[in-house]
Amino acid sequence: MSLTVPDLAAVKVLVVGDLMLDQYWFGPTSRISPEAPVPVVQVTGHERRAGGAANVAVNLSSLGVETQVSGLIGDDENGRLLVDLLEAANIQCQPLKAATRPTITKLRVLSRNQQLIRLDTEDFFAPDDAAPLAARFDTMLDGQGSCVISDYGKGTVADAQALIAACRQRQVPVLVDPKGTDFEKYRGATLLTPNRAEFEAVAGQAQDDDDLVSRARQLRGELELEALIVTLSERGMLVVSETETVLQPARTREVFDVTGAGDTVIATLAAGIAAGQDVVTAAALANLAAGLVVRKIGVATVTPAELRLALHQSGQGGRGLLSRPEAARVADESRARGERLVMTNGCFDILHTGHVTYLEEAKARGDRLLVAVNDDASVTRLKGAGRPINTLEDRMAVLAGLASVDWVVPFSEDTPADLIAEVLPDVLVKGGDYRPEEIAGGRAVLENGGTVEVLSFREGRSTTGILAAIRQLS
């Protein structure tokens, strides 16, 4: 399967479910308490993140999706902190307050990247608390490409059938992350995403893969689902639709923390389906996203740039194409991984061996290579009428297919000085006869502690020469 990351900028997804605040305390531990046989953690840092259905929303927003979320919170400080986190993530938040119950909060204590204990503050919401949500749900569906029901069994999704019926009437695909052993309440959903334990608690323990597939097919039919996706932890996921059954292997070898991986799966599924992908393709993308998120500590998210890079590195269809805002973000992510980022730029109108050699030499200066490419209008200004020969889209696609290139980003100005100042690579490379301080963006890189290098172009190789040779033949 050739997999790509769809354009999610125009996609809208609604998330409804149990909203939670996840708190983390971090610190070293070097001794056992004299009061009890437990480690003593010296707390040196703390962090707050959105959890539960709120984490699904954050995952969607991280993917670039226009996201709306609703659920129940308490009329308390933790509820206000959660709303602040969601709004800071550019999520349209429409919570309902239950005055007599606290915001669901989970406190995790970690040391040396290991979770030592989790402390939960919660009180199940009553049907009366959830009734106003169901009453206004229909209006929230306006313009949505898909809807996620994130059920953690805390009472927010008291009447899942009413929500599913509203989605079906509005022809909005509805994806459910289920809880408990009563899957009948999710009848008629577009798809369900239980993990294996949740699935087998309902369908019975599977003896082998054939039995697992058989039980999944039977449950999908009984519940009138378009698809059933069973997540299988380190084995990947089983996708059973009306027409296909696919066992997709996991896409990771390192697992640091599985917290929130299910939220990443259903968020990526919802985004892909809302963007027009079929269930099997969206599931493949979700499987990839899950493989990336379990390599991070705590409730985490993935970005389109990370997905594209993972696909590009695996050689399975991904292109390292970035928008301008994504370029600065992937640069930060690259530096956070301790990588040395190299950047260069050009028109790259007709790719030839001189370009390939130059880009290989540029990549050798670091770990990752980001190539900035002039858009069509700026090429015309620089090269004259009749140029470029190839469109920006084609030029970027060809560059992204080179082994030496990790990412490609367009720019519209005559020089990439502003873009380089935003990205601030560790190494800026340019071909030609320049002094480092004369190169566009070079001063910003030098002032930031980076280096600027000038490489020689390969003699006798140029787009101009190729075009002249073509004209002679004609």
Whether 211 is catalytic is no
What's the CA gap between 119 and 114, in Å, rounded?
15
Tokens of residue 284, six digits: 């493949």
Instruction: Name the active-site residue from 18, 76, 257, 263.
Output: 263
Contacts of 85 (CB under 8 A, 6+ apart): 21, 48, 49, 50, 54, 58
Measured in degrees and rounded to the nearest 5, phi and psi for residue 275 equal -85, 0
What's the CA gap between 29 and 110, in Å, rounded?
9
Residues forming the active site: 263
